[in-house]
């Protein structure tokens, strides 16, 4: 239990790795729908502290995303949309 500055306890709910919780889920670079959940709309890999993955599965996930990018199943980056003001 963490404490805020006023002496009251604050309970923090920890995220659970979805790959550890459900062993039937497999990480595969040939499945872009699953990998797209762990990337932002700009194409960046979502960090472990936000996604809730354990260290082992985050490493495997990053490797799978990089492999999928190399064979063009996932984009490396998304183009920035620039708005011209007239």
The C-alpha atoms of residue 76 and residue 69 are separated, in whole angstroms, by 6
Q: What is the pTM of this model?
A: 0.76
pLDDT of residue 35: 94
pLDDT of residue 86: 61
pLDDT digits (tens, 9 = 90+) for 20-39: 999 999 999 999 999 999 99
- For 16-70, CATH gives 4.10.640.10
What's the angle, vertex CA 55, arms to CA 57 and CA 11, rounded to 5? Answer: 110
For residue 38, what are its two tokens?
A: 């762990």
């Amino acid at each position: 239990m963490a404490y805020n500055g006023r002496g009251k306890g604050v309970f923090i709910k920890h995220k659970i790795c979805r790959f550890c919780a459900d062993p039937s889920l497999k990480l595969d670079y040939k499945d872009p729908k699953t990998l797209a959940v762990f990337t932002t709309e700009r194409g960046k890999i979502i960090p472990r502290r936000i996604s809730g993955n354990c260290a082992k599965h985050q490493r495997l996930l990053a490797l799978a995303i990089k492999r999928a990018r190399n064979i063009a199943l996932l984009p490396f980056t998304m183009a920035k949309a620039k708005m011209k003001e007239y």
